[in-house]
Amino acid sequence: MLNLTRMEFRRLFRDKSVYITLAAFLGFILIALITMKLMTDPGLLAFATENGFELTAEDQADAASFLRITIADFVSNLLFSGGLMVCFSAIFCALSTCDDFSSGFGKNIFSYYPNRGYYIISKIVIHCAINAMFILVLAAASILLFKICGFSNHLGDPLKMALMLLTGWVALIPLAAQNMLFCMLIRNAAVASILSIFCGLGTVAGTIEVVTGLFGIHIVQFFPPYLVMMAASISGSSASNNFISLALGQNVLPDELLLSVFASLLWTLFYIWLSQKVLCKKDIC
């Protein structure tokens, strides 16, 4: 399995599309910060207004609140509350996995390794690695770009930020396993991506919570998307968080966090087991 994982790493990190996607995300952050700079710097704003730039009251309120948030909040909103990492992980997983079946490269793997579970696990390891890379690079780039753009926003509590990034990364593990299950079931990148995003953003978990909530039962914290939102709330952005407010309406407690991490671990194991079952049921084309 080590060789398989090593091969997947080589495949991944020698793939241009990974770096193109990362560059696009960085460009997106840069554009967002430049726009904010334009709206918050009086000199630049005057220049922009002279050149036809129109600023509404709502924009002004956004700009003012932007100056008050910490960089940690910005990162958590960007990566987790906004669903960027969930969507990225879902699309990336679907593309890289379904391609093994459509290109036929999977035949090389499955004719060599009798244990198909190795494939599932190595893929999840790879997705965790790519998620970690994106989280770290985007967080570091955000800090750097804030400084470069001359914003004086506080970083926030570095420990909380580190915990937020770690929790967010852990939260993406069961989602990666879930994405694998969809890929094994469907083997179509587009459909698997849509399903993964749909479930990853918590639509299913939220619906279940609404139904069970009618009977006074709250189980949303046992679903992986909740942990993503919990990650976002660690740095203090729970106000924009649907799940937290839906389930508890309060800040995250350590034991809750641990419980949610434990539930995520169980989901991961369940999805791996199920993915392997599905993979073993189907022929490799």
Stretch that binds another protein, among 1-9, 25-33, 190-198, 221-229 (CB under 8 A): 1-9
Tell me, residue by residue from 73 to 112, as one string, x for binding to another protein by CB under 8 A and - for no binding.
Answer: ------------------------------xxxxxxxxxx
Rule CB under 8 A: say whether 168 interacts with another protein. no
Would you say 11 or 147 has its CB closer to another protein? 11
Count of residues interacting with another protein (CB under 8 A): 25
7 vs 219, beta carbon nearer another protein: 7
Stretch that binds another protein, among 21-29, 79-87, 113-121, 169-177 (CB under 8 A): 113-121
For residues 9 and 273, which CB has a smaller minimum distance to another protein in the complex? 9
- Binder among 4, 90, 145, 175 for another protein (CB under 8 A): 4
* Position 10 contacts another protein (CB under 8 A): yes
40 vs 96 by CB, closer to another protein:
96
Give yes or no for residue 250 binding another protein (CB under 8 A). Answer: no
SS3 sequence of the chain: CHHHHHHHHHHHHCCHHHHHHHHHHHHHHHHHHHHHHHHHCHHHHHHHHHCCCCCCHHHHHHHHHHHHCCHHHHHHHHHHHCCHHHHHHHHHHHHHHHHHHHCCCHHHHHCCCCCHHHHHHHHHHHHHHHHHHHHHHHHHHHHHHHHHCCCCCCCCCHHHHHHHHHHHHHHHHHHHHHHHHHHHHHCCHHHHHHHHHHHHCCHHHHHHHHHHHCCCCCCHHHCHHHHHHHHHHHCCCHHHCHHHHHHCCCCCCHHHHHHHHHHHHHHHHHHHHHHHHHHHHCCCC
115 binds another protein (CB under 8 A): yes
Q: Which residues bind another protein (CB under 8 A)?
A: 2-4, 6-7, 10-11, 14-15, 103-115, 280, 283-284
